[in-house]
Each structure stands twice: as C-alpha cells, then as structure tokens.
Structure 1
Amino acid sequence: MPDTDHLVPPAPSRRGPRKGVRAVAAAGIVLALAAGGCYAAGFGPFARGDDGPDPAAMKQARAFLADWAAGRLPSAAGRTTSPGTAQKVLQSFTAGLDIDKPRLTAAGDAREAEDGTLAVPFTAKMPITGLGTWTYESELPLREQEDGDWKVDWRLSLVHPRLSDAEKFRLEREETTPPRVTDRHGTSVADGSYPSVTPLLGRLAGGDGGGPRGTVELVDRATGETVRTEASFGKEPDPATADEPVRTTLDATWQAAAEKALGRADGKNAALVALRVDNGEILALANSPSAGFNRAASGTYAPGSTWKIVTSSALLLKGAVKPDDVVDCPKYLTVGKEFHNVETSEFPGATFRKDFTESCNTAFISLRGKLDEGELGEVARTYFGVGQEWHIGIPTYDGSVPVPKDETEKAASMIGQGRIQANPLIMASVTATAVSGEFHQPSITAGNEDGTRTEPLPDEVVTQLRELMRATVTDGTAHVLADLPGEIGAKTGTAEVSDDQDNNGWMVAHRGNVAVAVVVEEGVTGGGSAGPILHSLLSAVPEDPS
C-alpha cells in the first residue's frame, strides 16, 4: 500500500540518490590566497533599490554552505573565485581534523564589508569523530563578477577566522583508559560489540572523565608550535569515581537488535531510538554509520507525516475533528502553491480516520484553519515537551516548532514540513506520550536534571490516537508491521529535503511498553525504508522489556 504522506508541489525530475560522501578537508596545507575575481564597480551588494542584499548573492552563499556540509566539495569550490585552491583547503581541513558531516548555517544579517564584498555570517558546527562538536562563527565574503553572477571571494579565513598563511589547526588526541559503561542489567556495552554506543562512551562516562579527550590547537605553520588551544573535549577523571562503572538505561538485547536492524538501511544514513513508554528510559539508540554524528539524538530533520500524531492531537484536543468526520482527500490543494499527495493519490469522501491511516496530506492541510497560528507549537511544547530543554545524559537537539510565517508555511507545518525540526529521540518520545498521555523526559543515565513542564493528554484523546495508530497498521501505510505479534500501532512519514535529494523515510511505532522511531535519509518512503528496519527490530526482541 503506498505511503501518501509526502506533500510537495510537482517537482522536476530528480537526479539519482546522492551517494553518502564524507566531507573531507583539513587545515594543514600551506596555500597562498588566490586573487578574488572582479567586482562590478559602482554596484554595491545593497545598491539595488531595496533594503536587503541581492537575493542572488544570498542564494549562492547558502548553496556554498550546503555543498560544503554535504561533502560536495568540487561543487562548493566551483562557487568560489579560486576553485582549485578552495577544494584542496576544504578537503584537508575536515579530513585532517576528523570532522564528519559539518553543519553550516547562515546566521545573522549580511553586511557590506570595506573591501566591497557582501559578508554573510554563518555558524559552523564541526563534529569531531569520537570527541564532540567544535562550534564557531565565521563569514562568507561574496563578490559580484563582471557577468553579474556572485561568487564566494575565496580566502582561508572564511573556513575559520584564524586560518591563515601563517597559522593552521592540528587535532591532538589524548590516550585515555576506556570508560566502564554497562546496560541496565550490568552487561558491559563498552567492549566494541555495540558500535553505536562507542562514540557516546565519553559522554556517558560523564563528563567526570574516563572518556576520550582531545584538543584542536592553532599552530604556527613554520615552527609547529602551539599558538593557542581553540577547543577542548573531555575532562580529567574524578579519582573518587574512576573505578565505578556507569550504568545506563540501555538494554543490551535491544541495542544489539537495533544495530542489526539498521543493516536494512542499505548503506543509507539512518538512526533509531527505542524507549520505555512508562518512564522514557532509552533501551536502544543506534546510528548508521555508527561512528561520528549522533543522528538519533542530535539530528535536525523535518519529521514528515509522523508529526501528524501531534497535529491530530491539537485537532482532537479542541474538538475540531472526530475520527468519523468526513474530511475529503483530494489529489491537489493550493495554499500559496499547489500541493499534492504521493503518487497524487486521492480518497473522495474519506473520514479523518482514513486520512490518518493513509497519511493524506491534503486532508490535514484543509484543516489548518481549525488551529490558531502558534497552536501547533503550543500543543507540542505543553503536552509533548518538544522545544523544552531536555537533559537525558548525552547532548541532544530537543526540537523546534516555530510559528508559521505565512499561510503556506502553516499548511506545511500541518504535515511536519516547513520549519518543524525533530529527530528519532523526539519522535519516539512523541509516540510514547501519545499512547500513554504522559510526557516523560527521556533518559539514558540516571539522576538527570528535569526542568520540563507538561500537562497530560485527556484520556479520550489518548484512546483516539491509539485507535488511529492501530488502524494504520491493520489497514493503512504501516501494514508492513501487521504480521508481528502484539497490539502494534504506528505512523509512517515521508519528508521533503530538496530537489537534489530523495525524501527521508520515517516510521514510529509502539508495542507494549516500548515506543520506537526510525529515520532513513533519502529512504524515499517511510513504509519502504524505515518499515523493514522497525519490523526487524520488533521481530528480534520480546514484546516488553524486562
């Protein structure tokens, strides 16, 4: 049965799925700055009769950052005034510092610099394998060329403000004793048998030491002497607790099954979280690839139609719709632009229950007037804890549901698109809250601070959500789970990324006292990519954890 939860305007033909390319680069090569292109004299970046920078310049800046972050280094370099030099420096910078999948975001207002370029500030989050994330601010200089196009005016300092012909960066790792970390039953998870846990060991050990430690040093290119320490990771161990193992909430059986299940992702980037419904304790947290960036807890993804659990909650809470109400599901709906369902499916005269089980985007968007502008975000925060600050025992991204800027964005937010951001940790928690009525801050270690404040969902809403999710398995887009034992409820999701990438596939499910969420980058559909992973996991573990 096709998953109909992807809603976008008709798109041009796509390129094939991009191969996962590891962003490579490092600051160790001495390279002279190349001359930066020509500037169209007399035309500043703001001299266009409006108050903002030339949109073409901003588009080029964002495209450069996107290419660099995705590892498309030849493409990124081609957007600069010195492609050859740029590609070599970008490649040596991230490779030499063991940076995996940089996150680069334009931030703040562009300004006209003294040299006539347009300076676009950006934030760089550089995950250093096995240590942590190095975060810093920099600027992209954009210069208009004689033909009217804009290019990044290449210079070393745009990679990092302190990178220069005289100074470079060097990664120093300190030899440390591996920390002792166990699962909830005392089984060691620090012996390398659980690959997704290995990069987390230093964090799980606490910040109290015992985990990996290292620094990023700014060094003199000529002498090799350290000029300053740019970033530090890890802490010295506390002698009083150095010999005590850290017990996590993980379950070795569930963790092993999760690691194995992600093998069904066919080499695509993917992540999975399974947690207890009754208290939020994390039983399994797995990433593919297992090393590097923790997509499961720190990823920032549009959740696609899995978010319809929250949207449905908002609608049901205020009595705006009931499961048996007729909410038509047409092929197309125009809200500022034309939207359509996957494979342009339609269900004339469908009930809201049918819209949920078949994940009909147009039906959900047609109900947008039932919710106030910021109501979806308020429901997410008040009942599901999304957007509040979580302390689970390792670093996390805790979600964002901004107030829509316009009607088109409000339409997109109804189906988990627009600017809504989540990850498997968040969506597993959303699922647990929906089927229990109570939010519990997730945890992977004991004794974490909990400053969250939420309200319980009414029993009637919980009953309706459970029924809708169960029907999605028996009669809808999550039918891939229908042959498994237990009263499983689920929701599929397909999330638009860009015209250059296939959609991300999502699925969330609950069975017994466990809620699970899976995302597969460029998985195309939730049922087709995340579904087999979830099926593999639930086939390999008991119906309820001990």
Structure 2
Amino acid sequence: MGSRRAAGGRRKKASAAVVGTVAAVVVAGAGFGAWALYDGGGDDGTGRGGSAAPEKRAKTGPVTAAEVTATAQRFLTAWQRGDVPAAAAATDDPEAATALLTGYAKDARVKAPVLTPGAPVGAKVPFAVKATVTWKDTAKPLAYDSALTVVRRAGDGEPRVDWHAAVVHPALRDGDKLVTGESGTPPVKALDRSGGEITAAKYPSLGTVLDGLRAKYGKKAGGAAGIELRVVRHEEGGDDDGKGAKGGEAGEAADKTLLELRPGTPGTVKTTLDPALQAAAEEQVEGKADASVVLLRASTGEILAIANGGHGFNTAFQGSLAPGSTMKVVTSSLLIEKKLASIDKPHPCPKYVSYGGWKFQNDDKFEIKDGTFLASFARSCNTAFISQAGKLKDDDLTRQAQQVFGLGRDDWAIGVPSFDGAVPVQSAAQKAASLIGQGGVRMNPLNMASVAATVKTGTFHQPYLVSPKVDGRALATASRAMSPATLSQLRRLMAYTAASGTAAEAMAGVGGDVGAKTGSAEVDGQDKPNGWFTAYRDDLASAGVVQRGGHGGDTAGPIVAALLKRG
C-alpha cells in the first residue's frame, strides 16, 4: 500500500558544462598518501595503459578499498592536470564526463583547479576543490567540496567513477551547465511584508526561494546584471512563471549563482513573508533535515512563512509526496457530498477491508465497533474510507480535488516555482489507496496548508508569495465551493480531531477556532512513514511533513502547532 515519491531515471545525458586546463601538481589527501601523476601514455580505459588485456570474466561484488582509492586517484589526477580524455575514461559515462569537464574551463572559465581528496567512506570519496575563476581582467578564488562514488561498470565490472554532474560541483544536476559571464537576470533585493531585507544568511531555508524570485522578477524589478559564475539549469519542460511543470512534476529549479565576480544592481521585490513567523519557522526545522512547513493567511492565500530543514531542495513548495491521511480531509468532503458518510451517523471501521485485490488495514489493526464517521475521522480509520471505494467513480476524487480545493491543475502562480499537487484518476486498488492519500496522490506542505485554509474559509484561495499586483498575473480559482452543510460537517470533523482525536496532543494549548488532521504516509523502502500534519487556527493555516518521521501527530504536529501559536 506504500507509495514512493517519484524519482527521475538514471541519466547518461549529453550536457555541456564544466572543467578544463589545470596545473600538473602532486595531490595528497587523508587516506591516500601522495599521488604520483601518470605519464599519460596509452590508457586503454582500464587505467593500465598499453594494449587491451585478454578477455576475462567480468568482475563482480562490491568494489574493494584498493579499487576505490585507485579509481579516485586516476580520475582526480587526470582532471587536475587537464587530461579530459583520461579523466572521462575513469568514469562510467565518458561522453557526458567529457562534455562537462571540457566546459569547466571553456564555459565556466575555471582555471588551475587543485583537488584534494579526503578519506574514503566505503565507495564514496570526498574531495576539496580550490581554483580561480577569471573574466577578462577580473579573477576571484573559488573553493568548494564535492564527492565521487566508485561503482562497477556494466558489462566488465571494472571500477569506475559513477558519473553525475554533481561530481564536478554539488549544485549541478544532470543536464545543467556552469557558465561564467554576464548574468542572464539581474539580482533582486527581496523584502518581507514589513520592508526588511530577506537574505539566505538570515533565513537559511530561503536560498531556493531567493533564486526563484530572481528568475521570475530579475528583469522586471529594474536591476542591472553583473558578472557571475552560475548554474544554468537544464530545461525539462515548464517555465519560470512560478507554476508547477506539466505532467505532475515539481516546478523547475531556478538558475543558481555560485560566485559573483562583479556585482550587479539589484531590483526590489516585496514578498508576503512575515519576519517574525519566518524566523519561528526556521527555528522549528533547525536540526531536522527532513522537516518542511508552510504557514498561510487563510482568507487571502498570502504565504507568511516557509522553511525546510537541511536547506536544500524546497520540499515545502516543490515536494511531491504521498500525503497519507491528511488527504482524508478532501476525501471526507467528497463522501459527505455523495451522502456516503455523515458526521453523526454509524460508519464501518473494521480491522480489514479488501478492494481491487488489495487487503487494507488500520494502524495497529484497530477497529471501531458501532462507531460514527466522526469517530473514524478523528482516529484516522483507513477502512472507513476504503469501504466506500466501490460506490465512487474512478474520477470522483480527482474532480473534488480540482474543483473544490484547486489541486492538481498545474495553474498555481505563487511567484516562485511550485507544485500544486496531483490526484490522478485511478481504478481498482489504486483508487482505494488514493482515498487515504496513498496510491498516485502527491502533495507538499504548501498544498496541504491550502486544504486546511479552504476548510477554514469555505473557499479556495490560491497561495502566493508575491502579490499578483506586482506583475498582473492571474491567480487560480476553484470552479465551485462546498455546500454549507458539507463545510459545516468538515469543520466539525477537524475541530473534534484537534480536541479529542489523533491531533489533540500536538494542538494542546492552541486556542481559538481550530481544526486539524494527522497523517502517516508509507513509502516503499522506508522503515518509518512520512509524518504529516495540517491545521488551522483562526485566520492561519499550516501544514508540515517530516520524512521518515513516523506518526504525524508526534513529528510534524508540534512544528505546525508552534507556528499557529506564534501567529
């Protein structure tokens, strides 16, 4: 019943970008001793030189420590001395490696890199890079850390560097390029709603958000471009208008500046972020690498805070994860409208229920005898929802999510790249799993905070980070609202869950008009599920996820509740 976050296939791309002329020096590193440079003669791609060896049986099993050391040495030594063919031959994708390593000097203008390896950890070898980036009469030092992994090459089992663009620089994704020159877009000075400047140093979670603001508004905000070393992202569809990419994928990441050689003149962009709440959000995810949270003003959709632990991928806006039982908010609205459930009427919650060839169960195999739908929702009974699958059309949940909650239509324009959820039409067992936020359903904290906001206000308000008045863009709207009777029951369900259900412990002490829903989403290969929590308090709505965290009430719940209290 578990479902996994969609992941891209293994690449082998022919992308341009990164690495060139180098000084021939001896490299030393912890765990390696001193490395002597090869003489460059007749490498046959095996690192032995000379004629091809006689045909032999392919090597199998994990790479050995000696193979890791020798392969890393061969690759890093060749890269450092500017021998691109030899460095590429030490990888499992020479064509892609050649393009990247050639572009490092030509396009990125990175000169004389010095590569210092660290001690291997299994098959992984960290290394430090120090180099100089030049542009006409300007030069600046460049320093960063990267890593490579040694694997067995398909076919003969020879050890090779597992080639990804991130080997060259950790900010690169496969297909990206490194370029030094006049920046494509001027820098921006981002402001919070009070007029204070937003920086990544002040708010570490906002690095990707600032990149997105620059990509969207750099040319519109009146700034002038500077000279930079930057990552130019590979385009895989979608655009830079802040909408999620087509086909149910997360929105494209923006280009990223790595080094500024000559500063540009920034334009100014004002956001909806609240400085105190943003600081609180950063505090809540600090030290929690897999935690993400979003806080909205329910009545307008203004995003007041967004934070991601680990400060890498923007899961809060662009994540594509099964939302687990928080999706039962949407499903409940559907069942109530279809008169398949009513808050105070009896509703089945057995230990097990089968549908479409799958056997579903509740957490710890509990059951509620002679219970109501209110009891099933508050305790998050899976079988209470699965039992109704046969009475629903395959597209009912999709239509409900799109028409009432504004989800899964690829039309949100929040001001930076985002993903507005996916609720695909499914049948049989997958349809049943979708009712409890598994199957093909995909969401992120921004989406689920919006769901809570829609329940609180009765109407979908598309979230946004930059006011549409800045650039005249249109915000997404819902095609219909829930009936007053459905909305009333849905609010009672969430209020009771916050007071006496699975969300009660986290929501203790959160006063005002409140409602909440917990969730745990199983993921194949994970020991613990992803923990979800969505809630509202008066005019605030929030949602969070802690990946591999376990029960949402114990993990994401305290994060969300803390922000609602601060608001």
2-structure distance, mates of 1:85, 1:353: 59
Corresponding residue number in structure 1 for 2:479: 454
2:444 and 2:464 map into 1 onto residues whose CA distance is: 15
Matched, 1:505 2:549: no
Three-state SS of the structure 1 residue aligned to 2:336 is helix
TM-score, L = length of structure 2: 0.64
Q: Deviations over 1:72-129 (max 9, x none)?
A: 988994694466645x233x632323247xxxxxxxxxxxxxxxxxxxxxxxxx3xxx
Q: CA deviation at 1:190?
A: 2.1
Residues 208-241 of structure 1: CA deviation (Å, up to 9, x unaligned): 25698724599xxxxxxxxxxxx99379xxxxx9
Residue pair 2:520, 2:530 contacting (<8 A) in 1 also: yes
- 2: CA distance, partners of 1:72 / 1:437: 54
- Provide the secondary structure at the position in 2 that maps to 1:471: helix
> Matched residues in 2 for 1:393 and 1:371: separation?
36
Q: Which secondary structure does the structure 1 equivalent of 2:554 belong to?
A: helix
Alignment partner, residue 527 of structure 1: 553
Distance 1:85 1:27, change over 3 A: farther
* Aligned-partner Cα distance in 2 for 1:458–1:213: 54
Within 2, Cα distance between the matches of 1:36 and 1:283?
63
Contact 1:180–1:244 (8 Å) recurs in 2:
yes
Q: How does 1:152-163 map to 2 (within 5 A)?
A: none
The residue aligned with 1:481 is: 507
SS of equivalent to 1:384 = coil
Deviation at 1:516, TM superposition (A): 0.2
Residue among 391, 397, 419 paired with 1:376: 397
Alpha-carbon displacement from aligned partner over 1:369-414 (angstroms, at most 9, x marks no partner): 232110000010001111121110001111111111x311111011
**TM-fit CA distance, 1:337:** 2.2
- Equivalences for 1:528-543 in 2 at 5 Å? 528-539=554-565, 541-542=566-567
Q: Which residue of 1 aligns with 2:218?
A: 208
Question: 2:518 aligns to what?
Answer: 492
1:242: Cα distance to partner? Answer: 5.3
Give, as a single letter, the amino acid of the residue that structure 2 aligns with 1:412: A
Counterpart contact for 2:200–2:206, Cα < 8 Å:
no
Q: Distance in 2 between matches of 1:499 and 1:186?
A: 45
Return the match for 2:270 from 242, 247, 258. 247
Q: In structure 2, do the counterparts of structure 1 residues 189 and 317 end up closer, same or farther at CA, with 3 Å as the change threshold?
A: same
Query: Residues 401, 192 of structure 1: CA spacing in aligned structure 2 closer, same or farther, 3 A cutoff?
Result: same
The match for 1:397 is 419
Equivalent pairs counted in the alignment come to 400
Structure 2 Cα separation of the partners of residues 36 and 502 of structure 1: 44
Equivalent-residue separation in structure 2 for 1:473 and 1:36 (angstroms): 66
State the distance in 1 between where 2:317 and 2:56 align: 41
Give the C-alpha shift of residue 440 in structure 1. 1.1
Work out the CA distance in 1 between the residues paired with 2:273 and 2:301: 11
Letter in 2 for 1:458: S
**Using a 3 Å threshold, how does the CA distance of structure 1 residues 217 and 274 change in structure 2: closer, same or farther?**
closer
Deviation per residue, 1:338-374 (Å, 9 max, x gap): 2211112221122100110000001110011232110
Q: Does 1:308 pair with 2:328?
A: yes
Deviation at 1:271, TM superposition (A): 0.9
Q: Find the counterpart in structure 2 of residue 120 from structure 1.
A: none
Could you tell me which runs of 5 or more consecutive residues in structure 2 were left unpaired when the two chains were aligned. 4-16, 21-39, 47-54, 59-120, 125-148, 235-252, 258-263
Counterpart of 2:359? 338
- TM alignment of 1:251-262, pairs within 5 A: 251-262=274-285
What SS is found at the alignment partner of 2:307?
A: strand
Partner Cα separation in structure 2 for residue 355 and residue 76 of structure 1: 51
Gap change, CA 1:253 and 1:464, over 3 Å in 2: same
1:95: which partner in 2? 167
Change (3 A) 1:37 1:333: farther
- Aligned pair 1:354/2:375, yes or no? yes
* Matched residue type, 1:89: D
SS of 1:180's equivalent in the other structure is strand
Cα distance, 1:173 vs structure 2: 5.6
Q: 1:171 aligns with which of 178, 189, 198?
A: 178
CA contact (8 A) 1:505 1:524 kept: yes
Structure 1: distance between partners of 2:229 and 2:376: 51
Change in Cα spacing, 1:379 to 1:36, as seen in structure 2 (3 Å) is farther
**Closer, same or farther in 2 for the Cα pair 1:259/1:350, shift >3 Å?**
same
Q: Decide which structure has the larger Cα Rg and report it.
A: 2
- The one-letter code matched in structure 2 to 1:411 is A
The corresponding residue for 1:276 is 297
Residue 196 of structure 1 aligns to a residue whose secondary structure is helix
Structure 1 residues 298, 232: CA separation in 2 closer, same or farther (over 3 Å shift)? closer
Distance 1:80 1:357, change over 3 A: farther
What is the CA-CA distance between 1:244 and the residue it aligns to?
4.3
Contact (CA 8 Å) 1:37, 1:81: kept in 2 or not?
Answer: no
How far, CA to CA, are the matches of 2:528 and 2:446 in structure 1? Answer: 22
Counterparts of 2:529 and 2:332, CA distance in 1: 23
Equivalent position amino acid for 1:449 in 2: A
What is the CA distance between 1:465 and its match in structure 2?
A: 1.1
Give yes or no for contact 1:315–1:370 (8 Å, CA) kept in 2.
no
Q: 1:295 to 1:199 in 2, by over 3 A?
A: same
CA distance in 2, matches of 1:99, 1:452: 35
| Conserved 8 A contact 1:250-1:284 | yes
Q: For the residues of structure 2 that align with 1:174 and 1:289, how far apart are their CA atoms?
A: 30
Give 1:175 deviation, angstroms.
8.7
Q: 1:429 to 1:216 in 2, by over 3 A?
A: closer
Counterpart in the other structure of 2:433? 412
Give the corresponding residue for 1:443: 464
Q: Distance in 2 between matches of 1:523 and 1:402?
A: 26
Counterpart-to-counterpart distance in 1, 2:56 and 2:122: 21
Provide the rounded CA distance (Å) in 2 between the counterparts of 1:492 and 1:513: 20
* 1:322 corresponds to 2:331: no
**Matching residue's letter, 1:361:** N
Specify which of 186, 191, 198 is matched with residue 189 of structure 1: 198
CA RMSD in angstroms, aligned pairs only: 3.5
Cα 1:234–1:529 shift into 2, 3 Å: closer
Matched residues in 2 for 1:203 and 1:466: separation?
Answer: 35
Any conservation in 2 of the 1:332–1:338 contact (CA below 8 Å)? yes
Relative to 1, partners in 2 of residues 1:217 and 1:536: Cα closer, same or farther, differing over 3 Å? closer
Match of 2:316 among 292, 296, 311: 296
Question: Is the CA contact (8 Å cut-off) linking 2:232 and 2:256 kept in structure 1?
Answer: no
Q: TM-score, normalised by structure 1?
A: 0.66
Change (3 A) 1:251 1:216: closer
> In the aligned structure 1, how far is the partner of 2:498 from the partner of 2:122?
39
Note if 1:468 corresponds to 2:500. Answer: no
Q: 1:429, 1:439 within 8 Å by CA — same for their partners in 2?
A: yes
